[in-house]
Amino acid sequence: MTWTCIRSRIEAGVATITLNRPDVMNALSSQMRRELCEALDEAGDARVIVLTGEGRAFCSGQDLADAKDIAAVDFETILNEEYVPLLRRITDAPVPVIAAVNGAAAGAGANIALACDVVIAAESAVFIQAFARIGLIPDAGGTHWLPRKVGLARAMGAALFADKISARQAADWGMIWEAVPDADFTAVVAARAAHLANGPTRAYRAVKQALRASFALDLAAALEVEARLQGDLGQSGDFREGVAAFLEKRPARFTGA
């Protein structure tokens, strides 16, 4: 399929989806959100998905020029009908999703990154909960992800002051997985993606299910989910291959079975 606002390719098990509106710092138009959903749906054969941006930004958030009359925009409807399906495709994807944050991630762009399973950022990148600057609250999952990743005090400060948070600070806070020097960014993302593409895909899917569900579960329920998923994985081909590789002192050759 051909898109106007994004590019997508699948190679060696890695689906790379690139936000491609660099002239507006990859601002999220309605069309881009629709195309992102389509690209995520079409990544079914991939074993890992990488979401990144073209140019100097990852994503500057909602495209405020997307509507003829910004005062008449129904944000509740847009969030429910366009952002929620996009976020659910990311969080419910059957494979790991990496946000490769190459530059500024602001507003909804920052929170789409935080919805991904792993966030790797170039050291020059920044994260900005910019909503208060225009009289709004963090959306696109921001009120959910931020306090869970960095705690209430830091989430509150980030939302109220709308300060820039450097990639290094975001990593120190636990907001993202890692910040890497710009010169190494492309190579690190490629290596991380290749590692996951060659890993036990079925186990990764279970990891996502268990960890994401844990916030809504008490200990007893979490242990029940854990036992059920582990019982299923214990019957998998990847588990048998992993054990065989361990005993034979060789790299495992996982197939996702």
pLDDT of residue 74: 87
Provide mean pLDDT across the span 171-180: 98
- Is 66 within a domain? yes
Same domain, 22 and 141: yes
Same domain, 71 and 181: yes
CA-CA distances (angstroms) from residue 211 to 19, 32, 81, 169, 215? Answer: 27, 29, 26, 24, 8
pLDDT of residue 168: 98
- CATH number, position 210: 1.10.12.10
Query: Do 120 and 99 touch, CB atoms closer than 8 A?
Result: yes
Same domain, 209 and 132: no
pLDDT of residue 257: 78
Q: Could you give the CA distance from residue 164 to residue 121 in angstroms, rounded to a whole number? A: 14
Same domain, 173 and 242: no
Same domain, 77 and 96: yes
**How confident is the model over 187-220, as pLDDT tens digits?**
999 999 999 999 999 999 999 999 999 999 999 9
Among candidate residues 25, 31, 186, 50, the one with its CA nearest the CA of residue 107: 25
Same domain, 68 and 120: yes
pLDDT of residue 192: 98
Same domain, 157 and 106: yes
Provide mean pLDDT across the span 56-70: 85
Same domain, 236 and 137: no
pLDDT of residue 4: 93
Same domain, 109 and 27: yes
- Between these two residues, 142 and 75, which has the higher pLDDT value? 142
Provide mean pLDDT across the span 16-26: 96
Place of tokens 């059957």: 94
- CATH number, position 186: 3.90.226.10
Say if residue 73's pLDDT is above 80.
no
Provide mean pLDDT across the span 39-67: 92
Residue 77: domain span: 6-197
The number of folded domains in the chain is 2
pLDDT of residue 69: 65
Same domain, 162 and 224: no
Give me the percent of the chain exceeding a pLDDT of 70: 98
Same domain, 33 and 102: yes
Say if residue 150's pLDDT is above 70.
yes
- Is 173 within a domain? yes
Structure tokens at 224: 């029940």
pLDDT of residue 2: 82
State the pTM of this model.
Answer: 0.94
Mean pLDDT taken over the chain: 95
Provide mean pLDDT across the span 92-105: 97
Q: Could you give the CA distance from residue 128 to residue 10 in angstroms, rounded to a whole number? A: 30
Same domain, 177 and 215: no
pLDDT of residue 68: 65
**How confident is the model over 100-122, as pLDDT tens digits?**
999 999 999 999 999 999 999 99
pLDDT of residue 44: 81
